[in-house]
Amino acid sequence: MRPDPSTPKRSLAKALSWETFSTLATFGLAWAMFGQIGTCIAFAAASYAMKLILFYWHERVWHQVHWGKQL
């Protein structure tokens, strides 16, 4: 059986990279829709923090699920 490479550090790195990318997209969309830079920055920052935590825990839960893994 080979070891599973999904360590907590890997999950955190994936969460950080994805949330940075998706928050930039969220910011761009909010700016295009509302045009108020301060509001968009505040919304994007709050969204980033919340989704980063949720994505990390979601990733760690899926790490425990054996379904679909080839061991």
For tokens 């509302």, the residue is: 34
pLDDT tens track for 4-61 = 667 888 888 888 899 899 999 989 998 999 899 999 999 889 989 999 999 899 989 9
- Return the beta strands (E) in 1-71 as ranges: none
Task: Decide: 52 and 15 in contact? Cβ < 8 Å.
Answer: yes
Residue 3: inside a domain: no
Parent domain of 15: 9-62
Residue 69: inside a domain: no
**Between 69 and 34, residue with greater pLDDT:** 34
Q: What pTM does this model have?
A: 0.68
Domain count of the fold of the chain: 1
